[in-house]
Structure 1
């Protein structure tokens, strides 16, 4: 966007099909920065003519590129290097060997293990107990029940009182979100999301072919009047939202705002999926208890205890759980018995709560560092958050590229944007740095880039 040229790829002459060569060319152009986020790719027929290909070949290539989350197409607008491509970079394996000095402040994960002995002790206790068959079988009834019981205990720390029967076990929050969307929506059905939404939410909707409608935000998250307006205009009956420590802005709804959103939900007979994966970092309660059975809460341990513990829960009323997983099997198929055993042990013995407390303390210290270095550039400063939303003097992609050139990776607003105008902001993940010293180094670089942008009058 904003550049006056039409990208023309160079196809490598090898043995693979031409459409795959074109996909590789698109991927390489994105990696090199020749195609930037928001840039429109040439129309398929025009590109086919230019390259001497059959139009069906370019069509197949664009479809494959979309399947790989390199590009995203919008009916009537064309194919763009959108959040789809950048979302994939947040989830793919980081190639640190290619950029050994890069400070990664782009990925939302817990602070690097503050208690590395916990896993070693847990594995040793499993061996001593003779639990050698955790990888030999699927989940049995007893372990599944234990997972739900410990999930209910974990959610009680968020002030949510549920029975084991009110929960479904799943392989993390992303799988939970996908399962709920797939169960409650038909392909092509509109879904409301925040105008700035987490990449995982956008990716799940795209994968399920659910068109998204962004709802405007302010400093506390969703605006009630905007939700009501979009619900009526779009006909959407389902909302996906993160009321507590919203990703990417870090905003938290206060009591009045949560009540106002709940009133809109009841008045318009909406359904709500609440992403509460960051909720345990805050004292703010979830939206879920105010929804009178019209809500589904998704939680996990991956953002607050350990990223590799792919264990999560879906809380909802019995009738909704029946719709989500009528045979109570699909949601927990991907749960590893070994991971679940460790998760249950950590919750039961208090290890998970201790690790959460350590994470909260570390996040608060890092958040204070961010306030010291970035100060007025922070757009949300009310509550300590593992990620911060930082105002940029001009184009967010330009600032992100400048940071990367100086050795720091941050995420521009376009990765999170759902329609609307470009937002001049980047997200910085405070917990991604391996230490406070590395975070300080990264924040110092971001500060310098911000100052350079301001000085240049950009």
Structure 2
């Protein structure tokens, strides 16, 4: 578990403890908290600092930490915010896309879509940020399109005829996805998506007032024949898909289908948003060219990011588009956030331009391959009736089909009770009733031993869920 999530879990535990104490009572010492919750001194210090900033505790050097006096008098009770239910009516946001609460100390995460801190290039990131901060123009305003060297880097990664002028630097992939949906489809309009698909895309579409509609996929990716039917039936002007290391299934769109899918979208007069989030998460095999590299007329809008292979806090991504839609996207940047923070852009340039980045990607590829195999083997031993449709050649996840009688919510809840976080498969489907599935992240745990222990706990949790 990351330091941040451990600290958040400790804060939650301490809030429960404070509720049982009276104002002026002494909070257990740092040593007692370390022993009780099995955390490090730095975690305790961060948690106490958070509670002090909230006014929940008072620290007295040399004496300890004490429960702060609670507010009294008129207005000190719980505020009445019930009026907001009326004011917010009709603008629901999909809460299913929100990350689950952090596990307490000793928990094992197989949820989410990020690397464990041990897999992140922390030293290279720190060095890149330090070098970027020393540049004399590091804090100048950045161009709305992004810094020219970074745009050139993303253009080279895409390949083909893509140029730096086609690139718009964004603050990560999720915000860019939200911008794309709002820019292309009017509220109430349909957007086609693979089924299953990324929950963040579902949430972004619904928040924009759009209607996500499913297009079935198989082992070779989205089905072009059913995609053509979906365009014809719905009149949709946008397809969102993940052709390479699809989240959650790990599928790679088959070579013979790649041009077909683009041609179907082109014939429908529609855009195809290619979410290429996992380009740097391959497990050692060759990664197919992006669809945008062979696009002739602006049908494909390419979305990529450095966040997944680097760090959740390196919120740097890019949208590659051609034609009038680029002017609309540029205009929307002025509405949303003007530009992406220049220091982060400078740090990204420093990071990916040096030899440490290539070394990191090679090491990451080997680690992901090893972890995927280790978790698959552990699950085969511990829960042999769980089925995988494929062994992924890239990405961060295993997509698991549960046997009859096991339900994703019950298994996920039982797993959490045993200190393991997993993602329910029902979150990944746009519309139709989903099969019973789980998504397991083999890159979120600390090491191979945690993955093996997580699989053992899942076996116990399944036994309890079925009893």
Q: TM-score range by the shorter chain?
A: 0.7 to 0.9
- Give the deviation of 1:220 after TM superposition: 2.4
TM-score, structure 2 as length reference = 0.74
Confirm whether residue 120 of structure 1 aligns to residue 132 of structure 2.
no
Assess, with a 3 A threshold, how the Cα gap between structure 1 residues 312 and 126 changes in structure 2: closer, same or farther: closer
CA contact (8 A) 1:272 1:296 kept: yes
What is the aligned counterpart of 2:376 among 371, 375, 386?
371
CA contact (8 A) 2:160 2:294 kept: no
Measured against aligned partners, the alpha-carbon deviations of 1:177-196 in whole angstroms (never above 9, x if no partner) come to: 12222211111111111221
Name the residue aligned to 2:264: 264
Confirm whether residue 148 of structure 1 aligns to residue 133 of structure 2.
no
Q: Which moved more, 1:273-282 or 1:237-246?
A: 273-282
CA contact (8 A) 1:301 1:312 kept: yes
- Once the two structures are superposed, the pairs formed by residues 34-433 of structure 1 within 5 Å of their partners are 59-60=86-87, 67=92, 69=93, 84-89=94-99, 94-96=101-103, 99-114=104-119, 115-126=121-132, 130-131=134-135, 134-135=138-139, 137-140=140-143, 144-153=147-156, 155-156=157-158, 159-282=159-282, 283-292=287-296, 293-326=298-331, 333-375=338-380, 377-393=387-403, 394-433=406-445
Q: How many residues align?
A: 379
- Give the deviation of 1:448 after TM superposition: 4.4
Secondary structure, aligned partner of 1:230 = helix
Unmatched runs of 5 consecutive residues or more in structure 2: 1-75, 381-385
Whole-angstrom distance in 1 between the partners of 2:304 and 2:85: 41
Assess, with a 3 A threshold, how the Cα gap between structure 1 residues 142 and 195 changes in structure 2: closer, same or farther: closer
Whole-angstrom distance in 1 between the partners of 2:350 and 2:375: 35
Secondary structure, aligned partner of 1:168 = strand
- Give the deviation of 1:326 after TM superposition: 4.6
CA contact (8 A) 1:305 1:359 kept: no
- Give the deviation of 1:327 after TM superposition: 8.2
Measured against aligned partners, the alpha-carbon deviations of 1:247-296 in whole angstroms (never above 9, x if no partner) come to: 11111112012233223223323210010011232412323334432010
Measured against aligned partners, the alpha-carbon deviations of 1:150-182 in whole angstroms (never above 9, x if no partner) come to: 2223x24xx444211011111111121122222
- Give the deviation of 1:131 after TM superposition: 2.7
Measured against aligned partners, the alpha-carbon deviations of 1:37-91 in whole angstroms (never above 9, x if no partner) come to: xxxxxxxxxxxxxxxxxxxx8655765xx65x4xxxxxxxxxxxxxx2231125x
Assess, with a 3 A threshold, how the Cα gap between structure 1 residues 257 and 450 changes in structure 2: closer, same or farther: farther
- Give the deviation of 1:205 after TM superposition: 0.7
Unmatched runs of 5 consecutive residues or more in structure 1: 1-12, 21-56, 70-83
Whole-angstrom distance in 1 between the partners of 2:154 and 2:378: 38
Tell me which structure has the larger Cα radius of gyration: 2
Whole-angstrom distance in 2 between the partners of 1:169 and 1:142: 6
Whole-angstrom distance in 1 between the partners of 2:332 and 2:89: 37
Whole-angstrom distance in 1 between the partners of 2:199 and 2:251: 17
